[in-house]
Amino acid sequence: MTERDSGLTDSADIAVAVDAWLAQAADPTSSDYLAYGGLLFNNPAAQGANSCARCHTPGFSYGASSNTATAQLISEWPLLAETGILTGYQPGAGHVGPSLAGVETHFSTPASQEDFIRSGSEVGVGYGNARAGTGGMPGFGGRVDDLDVIGTVVRSRILTPEQIAAIVAYERSP
């Protein structure tokens, strides 16, 4: 599903093809696994509200979501580049959240990084290799179920453990 298929024109066929691609890409042994992690990292759903890129990619929250989109933003708003706020598309380079370059030095194992993404940070509680928690990183892997009230909406996690593992693989990839 990485190349356009002109034979896919019916929305039901497209949905089936997307589901098939996602099923194989979610397998850690798939050649598309890092692309899957990248899709989750850069998820544009709900204007990227639950994507990693919203905090960890400069300009993502206002449209810098690809090389093309970022170039267009810079051409429309040249002060972004002139002031150094946005100089190009830099996924994971840090913005509100820290840069993810060299993330393996902060989390010695993928499992410890996955646990942090799952639970988030708390003010004053350390995480990773000698980092102080600020409470700024939300947990994406769980919800407080004891706050559920019978007869209301059932709360669910934002990302599954498998999705978090794919994101971590993407973040740690060269």
98-130 per-position pLDDT tens digit: 999 999 999 999 999 999 999 998 899 989 888
Print the domain residue range for 18.
11-57+92-172
**136 occurs within a structural domain:** yes
pLDDT at 144: 53
**25 occurs within a structural domain:** yes
**82 occurs within a structural domain:** no
**79 occurs within a structural domain:** no
**145 occurs within a structural domain:** yes
pTM of the model: 0.84
**80 occurs within a structural domain:** no
pLDDT at 5: 76
DSSP calls for the chain: --S--TT--SHHHHHHHHHHHHHHHTSTTSTTHHHHHHHHHT--HHHHTT-THHHHSTTGGGT--SHHHHHHHHHH-THHHHTTS--S--TTS-SSSPP-TTHHHHSSSHHHHHHHHHH---TT-EETTTEEP-S-S--SS---GGG--TTSPPP--SS-HHHHHHHHHHHH--
**84 occurs within a structural domain:** no
What's the structural domain count of the chain?
A: 1
pLDDT at 1: 47
Which residues in the chain come in under a pLDDT of 50? 1
**64 occurs within a structural domain:** no
pLDDT at 48: 73
